[in-house]
């Protein structure tokens, strides 16, 4: 009975696609006796497997949602954007509509080779890697350990020193909370910097509530930590120094090796948040004396939802785990691992090592081109140190242009004015603040991220689009007019206050 | 002994052709461009490779990669998205 209804519904379905019924019946019949060879994925001629995701429809839905919230018609919202900016938009009929992705610090596209590794764990290899009584568990456990080895190799660590977590935020929280809590009887002091990622700053702030003292180091106008200042901040009861390797907003590389040596000399644990640095700059935990290092998978073309923490074994670093449970991952991070994500992460790490030189050369070439193109306009500045930087992260300030309005005008390029965490609020970047930039300049900064899959064509498009629209927006600005007339804006006495 | 003889010129050229063809089939612009340029660079890099042992390994590795490329280019054609603003709507076979 059940069988006949399914066949009937398939018959109806096949009529939709104008296909002869017999083929489906034949197909069903044949499938019952043997599974077809893996390579022969044969599809009916009239059957398309394509599922198209229409981004334009999503954009229109968003516009109408906004319109209904503000009480105007959706057309008016679209029109208000397009009439005001009509000549700032490039008229490129005959081209697609999807924005160029240039926000590689927020996340990166998943590499097809990574996805290929992951798929089998979603289709057949579903065993729990911690089950050691059957082959389902062994299979996934082998894959997990392979991945661990690949992740460790990139930073010259031992595979046993890698603990998988849900991401760099969890890793950072684990360190900032776990290490001081373990040593709380004798040590009460943590050192970090003002330009850290929000999760480090907030975790440090949470520790202040638990009675720890935290020193937030200032950075210079290039974004670098002063080693003398760090040395002065070290106290006998300091237990942890946390400095990020590559800044997520300005791409500045901190002197990790020097800081590591300083911490080792003073017998303090050194943690570095390498979410943006792992696989992108050369790192060696032994050479750099790093005791703890946070890694994120989705910044290296891996899947989202997984990361890792490197915890040194010799000399041993002890920390209190955040989660209590089954004692997986050396007891530091309980909970069943996700083999698809772990395997994808491992493959992503392997590829980062394998493609290191070609990726670096590619990113450097495009980055130089982009920086040269953007800085050729007047009153634009590159934020952060020009020498100690990761070329894939470029933060540029366009004076006399409001950053958010520039981003609105650049809807054909996916960019951000800073960290994705703060992009919802209009508060200016605290990182640029720490560099001593004023609010206006911090507001007018935009971050460009270049990665493995960026192309030269895209960079050319971006340079042209940004310079055109910056010029257009400046022409609207009365401040820009005054600057053009040679009036120093700082000399003006604004009346009324 | 099968498997230890270096691949012939014809085998390598055929492999190269397949790499280019499968890379071209990616629906995603960035992946397509990446694999096209990667294929060209990798084959060019190893153009003057003479050592049969290395060649056998390279050939084996490339065959695995071709498998990945074949599967993933099909997946890329199944889950499609709008074209990018730098991509012409016409003028590219697909």
Q: Is the predicted pLDDT of residue A82 greater than 60, yes or no?
A: no
Query: What pLDDT does A402 receive?
Result: 79
pLDDT value, residue A333: 94
Query: Residues of A257-288 as b/e, b for ≥16 C-beta within 10 angstroms?
Result: eebbbbbbeeebbbbbbbbbbbbbbebebeeb
CA distance A407 to A469: 10
Query: Distances in Å between the alpha carbon of B77 and those of A16, A56, A119, A429, B64?
Result: 22, 19, 16, 40, 20
Kind plus residue range of the DSSP H or E element containing B23: helix B9-24
pLDDT for A86 = 46
| Mean pLDDT value across chain A | 85
Domain ranges of chain A: 1-48, 55-84, 100-104+356-491, 112-354
End-to-end CA distance of chain A: 85
Integer angstrom CA distances of residue A206 from A190, A198, A242, A259, A383: 12, 12, 15, 24, 30
Task: Please tell me the predicted confidence (pLDDT) of residue A12.
Answer: 44
Report whether the peptide linkage leading into residue A234 is cis, meaning its omega lies within 30 degrees of zero. no
Is B85 close to A457, i.e. CB distance below 8 A?
no
Domain at A100-104+356-491: CATH code: 3.90.1150.10
Provide the pLDDT for residue A83: 43
Distance set, CA A360 to CA A34, A103, B37 (Å): 48, 17, 15
The first and second tokens of residue B38, run together, are: 């990667």
- Statement: residue B42 has pLDDT above 50: yes
Is the CB of residue A441 less than 8 Å from the CB of residue A470? no
Q: A57: nearest CA in chain B? A: B82
Other beta carbons within 10 Å of A310 = 27
Closest Cβ opposite residue B86 in set A49, A453, A458: A458
**Is residue A421 annotated as a catalytic residue, yes or no?**
yes
pLDDT value of position A148: 97
Residues of chain A with C-beta less than 8 angstroms from the C-beta of B24: none
* Residue spans of beta strands (DSSP E) within A119-234: 162-165, 189-193, 213-217
Band of residue A115 on the pLDDT scale cut at 50, 70, 90:
very high
pTM value surpassing 0.80:
yes
CB contact under 8 A, A41 and B74: yes
pLDDT number for residue A424:
56
Helix (H) or strand (E) holding B72: helix B52-78
- pLDDT at residue A284 tops 60: yes
Higher pLDDT, A225 or A428: A225
Cα dihedral angle (A287, A293, A298, A299), rounded to 10 degrees? Answer: -50
pLDDT at A443 (0 to 100): 82
Gyration radius of chain A over CA positions: 27
- A458 vs A86, A178, A406, A461, B33, CA distance in Å? 21, 43, 18, 5, 11
Give the per-residue pLDDT at A27.
45
Pick from A242-246, A333-337, A409-413, A463-467: least confident: A409-413
Asked if residues A383 and A442 have their Cβ atoms less than 8 Å apart, the reply is no
Relative orientation angle of helices A198-209 and A168-182, to the nearest 10 degrees: 30
Q: How far is B76 from chain A (nearest CA, A)?
A: 9
- How many angstroms separate the CA atoms of A136 and B28, rounded? 34
Q: Which of A346, A347, A350 minimizes the C-alpha distance to A148?
A: A346
| Alpha carbons A285 and A260: distance in angstroms, whole number | 9
Enumerate the residues of chain B whose CB falls inside 8 A of the CB of residue A41: 74
What pLDDT is recorded for position A56?
67
Q: List the single range of A82-96, A179-193, B80-94 with lowest mean pLDDT.
A: A82-96
The answer to which of A248-262, A307-321, A356-370, A440-454 has the lowest mean pLDDT is A440-454
Long-range CB contacts for residues A209-212, cutoff 8 Å, separation at least 24: A210/A180, A210/A181, A212/A180, A212/A184, A212/A188
Interchain CB distance below 8 Å, B88 and A99: no
Residue for token pair 């924005």: A99
Rounded to an integer, what is the distance from CA A425 to the centroid of its chain? 18
A82 phi/psi in degrees, rounded to 5: -80, -35
CA distance A179 to A214: 14
Provide the CATH topology of domain A112-354. Answer: 3.40.640
Distance between CA atoms of residues A325 and A333, nearest Å: 8
ipTM exceeding the 0.85 mark = yes
H helices, E strands: number in chain A: 17, 13
- Whether residue A7 is predicted with pLDDT greater than 50 in this model: the reply is no
Residue A295 to chain B, least CA–CA distance (Å): 24
Residue A159 CA, chain-centre distance (Å), reads 24
Percentage, residues of chain A above pLDDT 90: 63
Q: What is the C-alpha separation between A275 and A98, in angstroms, rounded? A: 28
Strand partners, A100: A413
Out of A71-80, A175-184, A201-210, B47-56, pick the least confident.
Answer: A71-80
In chain B, residues with a C-beta closer than 8 Å to the C-beta of A115 are 72, 75
pLDDT at A32 over 50: no
Q: Which of A297-301, A376-380, B1-5, B80-84 has the lowest mean pLDDT?
A: B1-5
More confident residue, A127 or A51: A127
- Asked whether residue A1 carries a pLDDT value surpassing 60, the answer given is no
pLDDT tier at B94 (50, 70, 90 boundaries)?
A: very low
> Distance between CA A374 and CA A312 in Å, rounded?
42
Confidence grade of residue A484 (pLDDT, cut at 50, 70, 90): confident
Quick: pLDDT tens for B15-27: 999 999 999 999 9
CB within 8 Å: B81 and A55: yes
- What are the helix (H) ranges across A234-338? 256-265
Judged against a pLDDT cut of 50, whether residue A24 lies above it is answered with no
**A175 closest CA partner among A314, A319, A312, A296:** A319
Name which of B34, B81, B89 is nearest A95 (Cβ-Cβ): B89
Chain B residues with CB under 8 Å of A461 CB are 85-86
The H or E element spanning position A31 is helix A21-33
Q: What is d(CA A236, CA A262) in angstroms, rounded to the nearest whole number?
A: 14
- Residue predicted with more confidence, A159 or A62: A159
pLDDT-based confidence at residue B91 (cuts at 50, 70, 90): low
Task: Compare CB distances from A96 to B74, B77, B83 and report the shortest one's residue.
Answer: B83
- Residue A241: strand pairing partners: A191, A270
User: Which sign, positive or negative, has the C-alpha torsion A438, A443, A449, A454?
Assistant: negative
Q: Are A254 and A220 in contact (CB under 8 A)?
A: no
A336 to chain B nearest CA, in Å? 28
Of residues B20 and A81, more confidence is placed in B20
Q: Is A116 close to B86, i.e. CB distance below 8 A?
A: no
pLDDT number for residue A230: 96
Per-residue pLDDT band at A47 (split at 50, 70, 90): confident
Least CB–CB distance from B87: residue in A55, A96, A113: A96
Residue A8 has pLDDT above 50, yes or no: no
> In this predicted structure, what is the pLDDT of residue B2?
53
Looking at chain A, the whole-number percentage of residues with pLDDT higher than 70 is 81
Q: Of the candidates B18, B34, B19, which has an alpha carbon nearest to the alpha carbon of residue A110?
A: B34
The predicted structure's pLDDT at residue A69? 66
pLDDT of residue A422: 61
Mind telling me how many Å the CA of B93 is from chain A's nearest CA? 15
Cβ within 8 Å, pair B82-A452: no
Q: Which residues of A touch B38 (CB under 8 A)?
A: 358
Model confidence at A152: pLDDT above 80: yes
Share of residues in chain B with pLDDT > 90 (%): 68
Would you list the domain boundaries of chain B?
A: 9-78
Distance from CA of B21 to the nearest CA of A (A): 16
Query: Distance between CA atoms of A140 and A164, rounded to whole angstroms?
Result: 15
Contact A50 B26 (CB under 8 A): no
pLDDT value, residue A235: 94
Say how many CB pairs under 8 Å bridge A and B.
90
């Amino acid at each position: 009975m059940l069988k006949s209804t399914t066949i009937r519904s398939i018959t109806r379905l096949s009529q939709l696609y104008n296909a002869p019924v017999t083929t489906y019946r034949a197909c069903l019949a044949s499938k019952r006796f043997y599974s077809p060879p893996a390579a022969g994925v044969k599809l009916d001629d009239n059957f398309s497997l394509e599922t198209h995701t229409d981004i334009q429809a999503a954009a229109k839905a968003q516009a109408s949602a906004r319109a209904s919230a503000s009480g105007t018609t959706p057309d008016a919202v679209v029109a208000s954007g397009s009439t005001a900016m009509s000549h700032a938009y490039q008229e490129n009929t005959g081209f697609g509509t999807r924005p160029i992705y240039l926000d590689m610090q927020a996340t990166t596209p998943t590499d097809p080779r990574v996805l290929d590794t992951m798929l089998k764990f979603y289709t057949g290899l579903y065993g729990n890697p911690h089950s050691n009584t059957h082959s389902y568990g062994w299979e996934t456990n082998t894959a997990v350990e392979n991945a661990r080895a690949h992740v460790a190799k990139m930073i010259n660590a031992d595979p046993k020193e890698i603990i998988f977590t849900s991401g760099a935020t969890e890793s950072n929280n684990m360190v900032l909370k776990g290490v001081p809590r373990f040593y709380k009887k004798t040590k009460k002091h943590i050192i970090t910097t003002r330009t850290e990622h929000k999760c480090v700053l907030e975790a440090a702030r949470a520790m202040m509530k638990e009675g720890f003292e935290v020193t937030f180091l200032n950075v210079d106008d290039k974004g670098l930590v002063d080693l003398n200042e760090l040395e002065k901040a070290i106290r006998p009861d300091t237990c942890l120094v946390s400095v990020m390797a590559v800044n997520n907003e300005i791409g500045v590389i901190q002197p990790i090796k020097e800081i590591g040596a300083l911490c080792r000399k003073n017998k303090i644990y050194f943690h570095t948040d390498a979410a943006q640095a792992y696989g992108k700059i050369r790192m060696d935990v032994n050479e750099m004396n790093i005791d703890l290092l946070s890694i994120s998978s989705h910044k290296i073309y891996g899947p989202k939802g997984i990361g890792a923490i490197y915890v040194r074994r010799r000399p041993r670093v002890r920390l209190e785990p955040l989660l209590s449970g089954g004692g997986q991952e050396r007891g530091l991070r309980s909970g069943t691992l996700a083999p698809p994500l772990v395997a994808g992460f491992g493959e992503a790490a392997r590829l980062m090592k394998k493609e290191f030189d070609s990726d670096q050369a590619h990113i450097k070439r495009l980055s130089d081109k982009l920086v040269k193109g953007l800085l050729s306009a007047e009153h634009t500045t590159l934020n952060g140190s020009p020498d100690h930087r990761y070329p894939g992260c470029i933060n540029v300030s366009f004076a006399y242009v409001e950053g958010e309005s520039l981003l609105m005008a650049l809807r054909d390029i996916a960019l951000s004015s800073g960290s994705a965490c703060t992009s919802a609020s209009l508060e200016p970047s605290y990182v640029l603040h720490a560099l001593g930039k004023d609010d206006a300049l911090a507001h007018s900064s935009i971050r460009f991220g270049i990665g493995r899959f960026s192309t030269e064509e895209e960079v050319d498009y971006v340079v042209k689009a940004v310079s055109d629209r910056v010029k257009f927006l400046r022409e609207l600005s009365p401040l820009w007019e005054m600057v053009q007339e040679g009036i120093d804006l700082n000399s003006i006495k604004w009346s009324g206050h | 002994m099968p498997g230890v003889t270096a691949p012939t010129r014809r085998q390598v050229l055929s492999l190269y052709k397949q790499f280019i063809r499968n890379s071209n089939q990616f629906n995603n612009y960035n992946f397509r461009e990446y694999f096209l340029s990667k294929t060209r660079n990798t084959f060019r890099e190893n153009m003057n490779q003479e050592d049969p042992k290395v060649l056998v390994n390279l050939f084996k590795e490339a065959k695995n990669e071709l498998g990945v490329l074949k599967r993933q280019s099909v997946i890329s054609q199944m889950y499609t998205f709008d074209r990018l603003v730098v991509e012409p709507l016409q003028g590219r076979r697909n």
